[in-house]
Each structure stands twice: as C-alpha cells, then as structure tokens.
Amino acid sequence: MGTLDSESYAFALSGAGACPRKRSSTDTGLSGGSIFLILLSVTIVVYLVGGVIYQKKINNATGIDAIPNKDFWTGLPGLIKDGAVFLFYKCRGQPPPTYESI
C-alpha cells in the first residue's frame, strides 16, 4: 500500500490463500498420517504387553528376559551401525572395512 516510515511497510493481501482455512463439513479431523501413527502406537503397545505376558506365563521369564524377541532388540543397534557404515563407505566409493581373519 505505502510506506509508514523508512523501515516499515503496510501490505493488503486478499484471496483464498490469505484467509485461514475453514473446515468443511466433510473434514474428518484426522489425516492419514495421524491414523497410521495411532495404529502403529497401539500395535507396539499390544506387542510389548502381550509379549511380556506370554514370556512370563508360558516361559516363566523374569526381568529383562521377559522382553519379547530380546535377542533381536539387543542386536538391533549393532545392525543399524553396520548398515550405516556400509552405506557411508558405498557412498564414498570405497570398499567397506573387513574383519581380519583369525
């Protein structure tokens, strides 16, 4: 519109993009991503609670042994590290480091 002073400007915006989004009657309120995250969270909780109950009742496990698939979950950080190292070396065009034979 014009200059208010030497460092400030006034603008007038009009159009559909300048107005806040109005909710229509067809909006459900939850996006597909929100529904996915809710289902993923519920699945993880059911997996953990059900797995711990199963390990305690059927296998008589106690403490950390009651975690379902404990060997997989304890090995996962090392597998992620190995994958990241492999990817890093492949992106740089170098062969990944190898283990020395014993």
Tens-digit pLDDT string for the chain (102 aa): 555 567 777 778 777 677 776 666 666 688 889 999 999 999 999 999 999 999 999 999 999 999 999 999 999 999 999 889 888 888 888 776 676 654
Residues 56 and 75 in one domain: no
Tell me the pTM.
0.56
Query: From CA 70, how far away is CA 76, in angstroms rounded?
Result: 10
Joined together, the tokens standing for residue 62 give 């106690």
Count Cα atoms within 13 angstroms, Cβ side, for 56. 10
Range of the domain at 61: 31-68
Residues 58 and 74 in one domain: no
63 three-state secondary structure: helix
Q: Give the chain's domain count.
A: 2
- Asked whether residue 4 is assigned to any structural domain, the reply reads no
User: What distances in angstroms separate CA 31 from CA 25, 43, 65, one per listed residue?
Assistant: 15, 18, 38
